[in-house]
Structure 1
Amino acid sequence: MTHPLENLDPAQPVQVLPRHLAGPGAVDPRTAWAFPYDEGWPFAQTDAGTAAAFSPCLRLQTTYDPQPDEPGKGTWTISAHRAPFTPPTWRITLYATTPVELVHDVHTELLDLYLEDQHSDQDRLFHDETAPHEAYAPLLTRGWSHDVQTDGTQTFLTPEKLGGIRHRYAISGSSAPAWRAWGGYPDEPYWRAHFSFGTPVTLVAAFTASLISTEPLHRTVQDVPVHTRRALYVATTTAKQPNGNTPVAPPPPAPVSGRTR
């Protein structure tokens, strides 16, 4: 089966949707985190690419650990601590293959929560009262399916079944993440994201809002995962065609049951 990128040069810039199939994009921790480094947010990065940043109070820590030989190519990790140098109260872990725009939007919301707490008597980093439906209701408006299981979880799948979010709403006796997200085939996803219990739902909602955004992501053809390209929609491309027209792919096809390699 052909796909929208088949006849384009690997280095050709394109804008693609849906976001969960776009690939990671250009990874730059300093840009992805977008913290006010000139206002007391320490940042450090090694020659190998490992990076870390901290809030001035040292209660928030975020790291990027590239592992090129691993399936997820490394991890982005956010951890929140009630006091410096204590075990984390909650943690977010994302594969390095997660679209970097999603990583950026979560960190932008994280900074907003931090600043709100600094200027109020709230402590939303640890006592967020945002209801879970704020994170998943928008998925339903975009055509995602919804299935509730008897084990205390509910699963939301993208229309083409190549991405999803699982929410564990029954928390007693469970050490599993409260929220899981993935992009690609369920048995072999290209990226994963885990949000532990205690993670502010506001941050999960920022992630899902970015995930379903209709703003296309800028990529080169070679950056887009190969196995799911048939489900992509190319919003724009600057490739020069013999007739001077710009090719625009049709919207993603209907869901399929098999995998094409």
Structure 2
Amino acid sequence: MSRGRRIRLVLGYDGSGFHGFARQEGLRTVQGVLEDELRRMLGVDILVEGSGRTDRGVHARAQVVHFDLPYGPPADRMVHVLRRRLPADLLPRDAGEVDEGFHARFSVVRKTYRYTLDLAPLPSLYWYRFSWHHPEPLDLAAMQEAARHLLGEHDFTSFCAAEARQRDKVRRIDRVEFRQDGSRLHIEFEGNGFLQYMVRILVGTLVKVGRGQERPDRIPLILEARDRRLAGETAPPHGLCLWNVEYPPEYGGKVIDLADDL
């Protein structure tokens, strides 16, 4: 069968009801739901490739996928068609046709993840599925000092799952930014790639610093040790969101540039 057209689709989803992005037999996943719906639409199997695999319970504002269509609706109609067919917790946001050189994963230049902490005394009825409730006070200045040590290229073995599949643990972080919105504290990490649980462990470590249980100047030592036991806890998945994905200029740069909408 002819490959046809390559479609790039930007998705948002509430990860609460998904067992992660990647298809798993017998479990509800983002890839599985999308592939099943494309099969019902077109009558043929369509392989969906994602920019990365979010874990169970992790959300996305701008996950990017691509797939090849032998036929079907034009790209500018794809969002409208899929919005009518997909469940409410899986939202197609943008679609376009790209050349065969584009790959949702391998063409990525950098990604942005956002982690949200809710620092209010009581958890929010509206944010409890999208934030880690942490009512104890945190030393924000100490957390910012610790975060500066994470910038640049490092081996992040200490800050990833012990069972992480990637052999090369070297990644580059270009930006760590703290944004306060009322009782919520958003921490954004932008870099060229992230290991399994990496952002959640970084957040757990920064929170440990904020509690006064770890010194900011120990971050370089933890990095050098390459020992997961020295870093902080793994923060809960529901506070994490894949916020944006960036591609080379010929593919449009950052895929979404909207005001905060979560």
TM above 0.5: no
Q: What's the TM-score bracket when you normalise by the shorter of the two chains? A: under 0.3
Between structures 1 and 2, the one with greater helix share: 2
TM normalised by structure 1 equals 0.27
Q: Tell me: higher relative CO, structure 1 or 2? Use CA pairs within 8 A at least 6 residues apart.
A: 1
